[in-house]
Amino acid sequence: MKAVAGLTKKRKKFSVPLDYKHGVIDLSHGSGGRAMSQLIEEVFAESFDNEWLAQKNDQACFSIKSGRMVMTTDAYVISPLFFPGGNIGSLAVHGTINDIAMAGAKPLYLSASFILEEGFPLNDLQKIVKSMASSAKESNVSIITGDTKVVERGKGDGIFITTSGVGIVPVGVHLSGNQAKAGDHVLVSGYMGDHGIAILAHRANLEFETTIISDSAPLHHMVASMIEQVPSIRCLRDPTRGGLATVLNEWAEQSDVGFYIEESKVPIRVEVRSACELLGLDAMYIANEGKLVAICPAKDSNLLLGIMREHPLGKNAAIIGEVIADSYNLVQLKTNLGGMRIMDQLTGEQLPRIC
Amino acid sequence: MKYITDFRDNSIARSLASAIEQEADPKRHYKLMEFCGGHTHSIHRYGLPNLLPKNIEMVHGPGCPVCILPIAKINQAIALAQIPNIIFCSYGDMLRVPGSNKMTLLKAKAAGADVKIVYSVDNALQLAQNHPNKKIIFFAIGFETTTPPTACALIKANQLNLRNFFIFCNHVLTPPALEALLQQEKGSVGLDGFIGPAHVSIIIGSRSYELIGQKYQKPIVISGFEPLDLLHSILLLVKQLNENDCKVENQYTRAVNSAGNQKSQQIMQETLEIRPLFEWRGLGAIPYSALKINKQYERFDAEKNFVIPETAGHEHKGCECANVLRGAKKPTECKLFAKVCTPENPLGSCMVSSEGACSAVYSYGRLRN
């Protein structure tokens, strides 16, 4: 039989627009059919808007200059999804950009994969995606490929996002956690613990009033000027989960050294200190999303400090201590009181104290 | 916050440390016990041991609510958590304490039991209201500090006429434990004096220790949790010992008075009664040392409303928790310490809670010269 030619006019692609006011994700949004196409086109492609997504392929092809590349991936499963200073979307973009930046690299492209739970409000999804798009734009990176899956109600926590990213490492830059040497100085780019406390303060059943907002921010611009002007930097890392203490313990082991840190020099906001007092937590272990820790030779540390302080994201930077020779790889802390103790790795999650 | 930083002032700390150095008689040894886990934690967190002269030795006491619960009680909690249709609510620290066969509430949770970490009994009360079709059991532990909130919850549950809220009551009392410790010790540990509890004393008042202090001729200084509080209290203890005194002194005057918090005492009396005997890890069975829910409130008592198996708990053979809790051994004197017993794989309860002596020494104190 011959195909019927000439339906009256070109059919409208999707007869009913997505209902952002009351609509929710249902299983059809992950089925591979028309509902999924509509979600992808109207929510994701619309916001992320770039030449690669416009080609509608299952992958994105791009050219690169020769040299070393960096690749990273991170999954974001947080509660609450929206918090003062950001949401899971901006966090998913900043977090992956920062992982690339900590290699001294310039981030270029991201992928984003979404696991959505049946019943998740379209309005929230749109907010999250828009915030990802604007975070990516501000950071000069493009989200060029992605994936969406829908799971049944009760099998997810609203939304999980995984972002992967690639970037280019400038010639001659080689940062790694195994390069710390005794005598080097340790710097942080600002106040520790803001993100973790902002999130905790808004968790159900732990609500307390605070003005602290998350520090979630992309650090690659600051890193670019740091490595350009102080090429001797040996290690960079963003102290996310587990905080400053965890980064130092990881480096101690990687580089087979120890650390001597002065508590009084670590910048921590009064509000964060107070919240930690209240909950029985230690700010040294609280997550950050827009801060970095750096190690460089002692002779360059003041120069590096000056460069970090010139950047808005590093204006409260500080030199907090030094690398020492220690075959036990301990992180030692000189307390405000003048006592000494070690700052060990956490066992599990930090738990609020009982009494 | 300023109020707190004042009690962590570096220059005052140094002058207190030198006052202690001057006061301490170089010809004698001072063995002082901090009863409370909170004090143990502070001492190590602020690095106080290396601010003190060598002849002042701080030993840890039994005042860590997680540490003193015997294995049998952990087994019972796990059994309760595994009953279908239960939401079992606990403070976070309790989840990792091993019961028999290394079983923990955390493992029970992974195997399907509905175990929730709560920050106070209020969270559990809220869950009971939000989930009328579930039964909520709150694992109540702790000394007199955490007892008044439990009493409040009982009164509130009664007012709300809740039918699905239960408490597994394991609250313990400080003065009987202190007395049992001194009775058992009979000089073998050689304790000279005590840093008395901070928050507990807010509730029960400083006069609660007077009889014990006199009977056993030991000075007791009630101390706040801040590092300056502790240094000041150590100075007061050393002075008393040098003068052969055995008074109950109150350093924590900004929070503690002689009679304690009357309102808290009243609601505890209204809802709870003293158990004739309670088993403590380390100290054994101590008469009149714990609380249970009284007859009037027994419809909220998990022990009355569920079948709780009587289990025997056996400590790990090499574990010295019992001796550590009595001040008879230091964590570092345990063969298992930092070798097979670590915060990741705790064999004894003192390694689990951040207030536990072993955990504090492991986390803060493994400094090598």
| Pick among A340, A347, A349, A350 to test the B interface (most B CBs inside 10 A) | A347
CB contact under 8 A, A338 and B368: no
Q: Tens of pLDDT along A177-225?
A: 999 999 999 999 999 999 999 988 887 556 667 788 999 999 999 999 9
Which residues partner with B341 through β-bridges?
Answer: B337
Instruction: For residues A41-62, give the mean pLDDT.
Output: 91
CA distance B48 to chain A (A): 6
pLDDT of residue A349: 63
Selection from B172, B175, B176, B131 nearest residue B150 by Cα: B172
Instruction: Tell me the chain A residues in contact with residue B8 when contact means C-beta distances shorter than 8 Å.
Output: 336-337
pLDDT of residue B369: 41
- In the predicted structure, residue A122 carries a pLDDT above the cut 90: yes
**With a cut of 50, which residues of chain B have pLDDT below it?**
368-369
**Residue matched to tokens 């008074």:** B247
- In the predicted structure, residue A296 carries a pLDDT above the cut 90: yes
CB contact under 8 A, A354 and B141: yes
**CA neighbours within 13 Å on the CB side: how many for A194?**
21
In this complex, the residue of B45, B126, B353 whose CB is nearest that of residue A341 is B45
Q: Does residue A233 contact residue A296 with C-beta atoms inside 8 Å? A: yes
CA distance A346 to chain B (A): 9
Amino acid identity, position A278:
L
**Residue matched to tokens 């994105």:** A60
Please report, rounded to a whole number, the percentage of residues in chain A having pLDDT higher than 70: 93
Q: Tens of pLDDT along B158-200?
A: 999 999 999 999 999 999 999 999 998 777 888 999 999 999 9
| Pick among B97, B347, B363 to test the A interface (most A CBs inside 10 A) | B363
**Beta strand extents in A300-352 (DSSP E only):** 318-324, 331-334, 340-342
Q: Does residue B230 contact residue B195 with C-beta atoms inside 8 Å? A: yes
Instruction: Tell me the chain A residues in contact with residue B46 when contact means C-beta distances shorter than 8 Å.
Output: 335-337, 339, 341
- In the predicted structure, residue A161 carries a pLDDT above the cut 60: yes
b/e map B73-99, b = 16+ CB within 10 Å: bbbbbbbbbbbeebbbbbbbbbbbbbb
Please report, rounded to a whole number, the percentage of residues in chain A having pLDDT higher than 90: 73
Nearest CA in chain B to A332: B367
Q: Does residue B282 contact residue B184 with C-beta atoms inside 8 Å? A: no
DSSP output for A175-207 = --TT---TT-EEEE-S-SSHHHHHHHHTSTT--
> Is residue B58 left, alpha or beta, with left meaning phi > 0 and alpha meaning psi from -120 to 50?
beta
Question: What ipTM describes this predicted complex?
Answer: 0.76
In this complex, the residue of A280, A330, A355 whose CB is nearest that of residue B199 is A355
pLDDT of residue A60: 94
In this complex, the residue of B14, B48, B65 whose CB is nearest that of residue A354 is B65
Q: Tens of pLDDT along A128-155?
A: 999 999 999 999 999 999 999 999 999 9
CB contact under 8 A, B92 and A352: yes
Task: For chain A, give the mean pLDDT.
Answer: 91
Q: Find the helix or strand (DSSP H, E) in which B53 lies.
A: none
Distance CA B258, CA B205 (A): 5
Distance CA A231, CA A214 (A): 30
Distance CA A41, CA A48 (A): 10
Q: Does residue A193 contact residue A242 with C-beta atoms inside 8 Å? A: no
Which residues partner with A260 through β-bridges?
Answer: A322, A332
pLDDT of residue A355: 45
Structure tokens at B155: 């009164």
Nearest CA in chain A to B126: A205
- In the predicted structure, residue A15 carries a pLDDT above the cut 80: no
Distance CA B333, CA B318 (A): 11
Instruction: Tell me the chain B residues in contact with residue A277 when contact means C-beta distances shorter than 8 Å.
Output: 1, 4
- In the predicted structure, residue A348 carries a pLDDT above the cut 70: no
For chain B, say whether A354 makes contact (Cβ under 8 Å).
yes
Q: What is the DSSP letter of A345?
A: P
Selection from A96, A67, A91, A65 nearest residue A77 by Cα: A91
Structure tokens at B146: 């955490």
CB contact under 8 A, A355 and B142: yes
Instruction: For residues A27-32, give the mean pLDDT.
Output: 87
DSSP output for A26-82 = -GGGGSSSHHHHHHIIIIIIHHH--HHHHTT-SS------SSEEEEEEEEE--SSSE
Helix residue ranges, H only, chain A:
34-39, 46-48, 51-54, 88-101, 122-138, 194-201, 220-229, 243-255, 270-279, 301-310
CB contact under 8 A, A351 and B143: no
pLDDT of residue A124: 96
CA dihedral A318, A324, A328, A334 (to 10 degrees): -50
pLDDT of residue A17: 84
Whole-Å CA distances, A267 to A189, A280, B6, B47: 9, 19, 18, 20
Distance CA A47, CA B237 (A): 68
Q: What is the DSSP letter of A341?
A: E
For chain B, say whether A336 makes contact (Cβ under 8 Å).
yes
Phi, psi values for residue B182, rounded to 5°: -70, -35
| Three-state secondary-structure class, residue B18 | helix
Selection from B119, B127, B115 nearest residue B165 by Cα: B127
Amino acid identity, position A146:
G
Instruction: Tell me the chain A residues in contact with residue B363 when contact means C-beta distances shorter than 8 Å.
Output: 342, 344
CB contact under 8 A, A328 and B46: no
pLDDT of residue B306: 96
Nearest CA in chain A to B147: A355
In this complex, the residue of A205, A206, A355 whose CB is nearest that of residue B38 is A355
The Cβ of residue B114 has, within 10 Å, a number of other Cβ atoms equal to 18
pLDDT of residue A7: 54
Distance CA B352, CA B319 (A): 13
CB contact under 8 A, A337 and B51: yes
Structure tokens at B339: 């070798």
Distance CA A252, CA A320 (A): 15
Cis peptide before A80 (omega within 30 of 0): yes
pLDDT of residue B57: 94
pLDDT of residue A207: 64
For chain B, say whether A278 makes contact (Cβ under 8 Å).
no
Q: How far is CA A34 from the centre of its chain?
A: 33
For chain B, say whether A207 makes contact (Cβ under 8 Å).
no
